């Protein structure tokens, strides 16, 4: 997706060979025009898949997931990482290890918001090791719902996430695929 690549080139900051900072437009300050295009593009790629709901994880997945849900005309649901006073009743949970932050957390969704048989599109901002997407997929499957696909805004293709998700049989669509961050430069795969 050209606008996304342009933003990454112009405003992304390579912090190391592993980490790209995109705080200027994706996961701190958020560019609404870019997010709208992201939503339209995911909706186009997953058109005809009978998506009933878009699922993401707080915080940075919410903006692209919401715009995707808007474009598809379906609800957006986000898994919580923190206990919430209002998150009651039966919960669907998964343990997610963050390699970037080196902490494990439990993510949770109220079971009442995911129904058996629903077709769910998972959307997230980054794909690195694939832990977040795997945790979300586990939650979908606990509900008896189906993962219709996984939409990723920025995939770090040099990390193992895509391979893991593909091995598990999920369709992954990424809007920008980064081949390497070596030498402080972003090199795209395609
Ligand atoms: P995984 O989810 O694919 O397994 O990735 P990993 O454990 O490595 O990443 C955990 C967190 O770090 C995620 O955010 C993910 O979005 C973020 N992250 C991974 N690689 C990068 C990167 O190169 N740049 C930036 N900016 N973030 C990266 P999170 O813990 O869910 O945080 P948030 O959604 O609250 O922001």
Average pLDDT on 54-68 reads 98
Distances (CA, A) of 101 to 57, 105, 172, 176: 15, 11, 24, 22
Q: At residue 85, does pLDDT exceed 70?
A: no
Residue with the smallest CA separation from ligand 1 atom 10 is 98
Q: How far is the CA of 106 from the centre of ligand 1 (A)?
A: 15
pLDDT for 86 equals 76
Average pLDDT, rounded, for the chain: 96
Q: Which atom of ligand 1 is nearest to the CA of 58?
A: 34
Asked if 61 and 125 count as a contact pair (C-beta separation under 8 A), the reply is: yes
Q: At residue 88, does pLDDT exceed 80?
A: no
Report pLDDT digits (tens) over 158-172: 999 999 999 999 999
Specify the CATH number of the domain 2-188: 3.40.50.2020
Residue with the smallest CA separation from ligand 1 atom 34 is 60
Interatomic CA distance for residues 147 and 122, integer angstroms: 7
């Amino acid at each position: 997706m050209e606008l996304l690549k342009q933003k990454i080139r112009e405003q992304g900051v390579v912090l190391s060979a592993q980490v790209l900072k995109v705080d200027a437009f994706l996961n701190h300050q958020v560019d609404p025009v870019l997010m709208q295009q992201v939503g339209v593009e995911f909706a186009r790629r997953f058109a005809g898949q009978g998506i009933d709901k878009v699922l993401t994880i707080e915080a940075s997945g919410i903006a692209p997931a919401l715009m995707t849900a808007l474009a598809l005309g379906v609800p957006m649901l986000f898994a919580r990482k923190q206990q919430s006073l209002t998150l009651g009743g039966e919960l669907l949970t998964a343990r997610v290890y963050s390699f970037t932050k080196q902490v494990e957390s439990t993510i949770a969704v109220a079971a009442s918001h995911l129904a058996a048989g629903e077709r769910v599109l998972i959307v997230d901002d980054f794909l690195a090791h694939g832990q977040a997407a795997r945790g979300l997929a586990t939650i979908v499957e606990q509900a008896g719902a189906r993962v219709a696909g996984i939409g990723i805004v920025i995939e770090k293709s040099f990390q193992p996430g895509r391979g893991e998700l593909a091995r598990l049989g999920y369709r992954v669509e990424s809007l920008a695929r980064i081949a390497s961050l070596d030498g402080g430069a972003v090199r795209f795969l395609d």
